[in-house]
Chains A and B, each alone.
Chain A
Amino acid sequence: MTAVQASHGEWVDQDAGPVVRPYALTGGLTRPSGQRLDLLDLVRAVRRAAWDRPQLSPEQAELLQRCQMPTTLVDLAADLDLPVGVIRILVSDLRERGLITIHRPQPPGFSDLKILQEVVNGLRRI
């Protein structure tokens, strides 16, 4: 893997791609541990007291802030403006440290007609 090098006096703009490579945000981890997480899996922080750990990256600290209430993986990716793959790794790592829980609610699609009807009625109102 080659490092991004900016020569003297050369400006690197957004078109050059991210200057910080994704693996730099994940502590060198390149794949999440455990089962692949779904975009709509719900992530929730478990312990307030654990936040101040110095070994947390700024991104992980922000993730913890944002999932005090159950929050989907995809919303976290949009909130932090990071690729889903990076969020998957950060979230898996936080889970291994016992700082968050992840759960996958059963999709209501085919199990709950009452909710589906609510979706239809809700969509009609938008």
Chain B
Amino acid sequence: MAYDGYDRAPDRNTGAADSPITVKILIAGGFGAGKTTLVGSVSEIRPLRTEETLSERSELVDSLNGVEGKSTTTVAMDFGRITIRKDLVVYLFGTPGQRRFWFMWDDLAYGALGAVVIADERRLADCFPSVDYFEGSGIPFVVAVNRFDGAHRHGLDSITGALNLSAGVPVVACDARSRESCRDVLVTLAEHAIARHHERPAPQPHLVR
């Protein structure tokens, strides 16, 4: 695919052996659901800050007293890498799931393989916006119920119902502190993305720019 404004890219099928293939996976969920823990459990975590324009909604939240000229804010993001081989790297990006951060999601969603929505059973509604986002954008996603305290409050079926998920969206239990558990979530997501590929053509993220 050609991208206007970019330099001619060597095709990875015909050379450019030193250009890595990158795969993007998004980690979503409400505040405190376990995004940072999951990224840290399963990947080489790296510090990342992003400067983004304040949306009208966030201006209501962020106090701008004394800095009225300020129109951007610096946001910390969870960012981790999984090196599968030297030239095949999976990038994990976690950001807050609230609607007011959707301007960041549009940027992040470009080309994403899929997303993990982390759900906390005690505050299930916190992940509604993330579920809405990925259903709307057509990005394959799985719901990972973070049972870090070992308590099983609801069956996975009832969570599927409560989230009103489309048929076929995997819902799995996980412990975000466990590398193996998080790895299984990512494998489930990647397999789900492959299955979705067989079902229908590639979805496009809805980009708002």
Query: Which residues of A does B touch, CB under 8 Å?
Result: 1-2, 22, 34-36, 38-42, 69-70, 72, 74-75, 77-78, 81-86, 95, 101-111, 113, 115-120, 122-124, 126
Contact = CB atoms under 8 A, between A and B. Distances in A.
Contacts, number: 145
A109 B112 contact: yes
Given A109-B111, A116-B194, A103 B7 contact: yes
5 contacts: A74-B79, A81-B47, A107-B110, A108-B23, A119-B190
B6 A119 contact: no
Contacts of A72: 20, 22, 91
A123 B7 contact: no
Contacts of B4: 35
Contacts of A82: 49
* Chain B contact residues, majority secondary structure: mixed
A105 B52 contact: no
Given A34-B5, A75-B46, 13 more contacts: A40-B111, A42-B19, A72-B91, A74-B79, A84-B48, A85-B50, A104-B3, A106-B1, A107-B111, A109-B23, A109-B24, A116-B113, A123-B82
B82 to A, nearest CB: 6
Nearest to B18: A69
B136 interface: no
B69 interface: yes
